[in-house]
Structure formats: C-alpha cells, structure tokens
Amino acid sequence: MITFYGTGPAFGLPHASPFAIKTEVLLKMSGVEYRSARADIRKAPRGKLPWIDDGGKIVTDSRMIRHHLETVHGADFSGGYDREPQGIGLAVERLCEDHLYWINVDNRWLRPENFARGPVHFFKQVPALIRPMVKARILSRLRAALYGQGTGRLEPEEKRHLVGLGVNAVADIMGDNAYLLGPRPAGADATVYGFLASLESPFFDTPYGEMVRARPNLTAYLARMRSEYFPDHSV
C-alpha cells in the first residue's frame, strides 16, 4: 500500500501545494491503492514535498512519482492520445511547474497580506520563541530562490503580463475540449488542474484568479476536475 505525503487541504484547495494536488490526481487516475498522510517538511527526504512510500521504497518529486506509477504499477497516463498531443501536454505541464508556479509562490509568500492570510499558519508548529527567526530564515531563502529563478526581479505588471500569456495559452490549447488534450483526461491534467486551481484560488488577494476566471473553458474545467477527483472536498 502506498503512503502519499501531501500537505492536506488548505486555502480552499485539496492541498496547499500544487505538486501535491497533481500527485494525488495521478494516484487517483492510476487506480493504485493509497493512503494519505500529512507531510512534515522537516522530514521530507529531499527537503521537498510531496513524496510517497511504496512498501519501503521512497519516491520524491511528482515527476518521479508519476514515473514510478507507470513503471512499477503499470499506470497509463497517456489518455490514449498520440505522441504529438502528449508532447504538448508535457510542455504545458512544465509551463505550469517551472513558470506559473514561481509567480504564484511569489504572490503567496512575498506579498505580506497573502503571507499573513495563508503561509504564516505553517509556522504554528514551530516553538514561539524561535518562530520569528525561523520565519525570517525561510522568507529570506525563498526571496533568494525567487531572485535566482528570475521571478524575484520582475515588476508586478510584468508578472501579470506573463501569467496572462501562460493562462491564455493553456485556455487556447484546451479550446472546447473537456480536458487539456481532448475528451479524455491524461496525466497532464493532473498538473494543469493542480496549478490552475492554485492560481485561481480566491483565498488569496491576487490579480491572477481573475485571469483564469476570464476564460469560461478553464472555469468549467476546474469545476469538472474538482468534482471528478475531489468530490468530497467542499469549500
């Protein structure tokens, strides 16, 4: 039995982490039996979540978890699509994970009002005496990571422009399809759902949610994915 370590529901989402939402959708798509456990980031095997424990084999990173489900459990995330649409799906996944993700992290963690609304609560388990120090250390690490990645050097208007390009590209690729690539869900949908739902979350003060909601096909898609993969998750 697989144990899946995610963040658990937060911010009106099935998980605080889009990578955890993605991974749980992949697990559900695969049909493999699993149980969920709340991850303690201090115990994360590579310092990042999510991860899984499959009978003692630890697999970290949502991309490697997908690979594990395919190679060890015979999961098929192709959705039955040809290689070309699958290639488009992979490119869209990386657009979400390596680009939109960072702008969303910047918005959640480095805008003080959003940090106070959400991420600050992650520090509740830290003893009160050292909490301010730990918080300051994590924020400074994150600021450095965002600066290194590049997002930290952009003006708000530039970030909005880039999110608009990314969101509209996904909406245009999806068109009238029920899922990203056509009438059937594929592995790419786990990612697209995780990251678009996170970007759209009205829990945070953000200009990005409106960009997602401005595209009716994305709004319908988020509702469809949520009712199919997280029917019990009510917010």
Ligand X SMILES: N[C@@H](CCC(=O)N[C@@H](CS)C(=O)NCC(=O)O)C(=O)O
Residues that bind ligand X (CB under 6 A): 17, 19, 47-50, 61-63
Q: What are phi and psi for residue 37, nearest 5 degrees?
A: -135, 150
Sign of CA dihedral 43, 49, 54, 57: negative
CB of 80 to ligand X, least distance (A): 24
Token pair of 218 as six digits: 């994305």
Mark out the alpha helices in 48-186 (DSSP H runs): 62-73, 83-95, 101-109, 112-117, 131-149, 156-174
| Closer CB to ligand X, 94 or 161, in the complex | 94
Q: Which residues contact 224 (CB under 8 A, 6 or more apart)?
A: 178
| Closer CB to ligand X, 23 or 86, in the complex | 23
| Closer CB to ligand X, 54 or 171, in the complex | 54
Token pair of 234 as six digits: 């009510």
Residue with tokens 């702008």: 103
| Closer CB to ligand X, 19 or 208, in the complex | 19
CB of 120 to ligand X, least distance (A): 16
Contact 48, 54 (CB under 8 A): no
CA distance 14 to 194: 9
CB of 204 to ligand X, least distance (A): 14
Q: What angle do CA 114, 119, 124 make, to 5 degrees?
A: 135
CB of 8 to ligand X, least distance (A): 13
Q: What are phi and psi for residue 144, nearest 5 degrees?
A: -65, -40
CA distance 85 to 123: 42
CA atoms within 13 A on the CB side of 40: 5
CB of 123 to ligand X, least distance (A): 13
| Closer CB to ligand X, 135 or 224, in the complex | 135
CB of 66 to ligand X, least distance (A): 9
| Closer CB to ligand X, 123 or 168, in the complex | 123
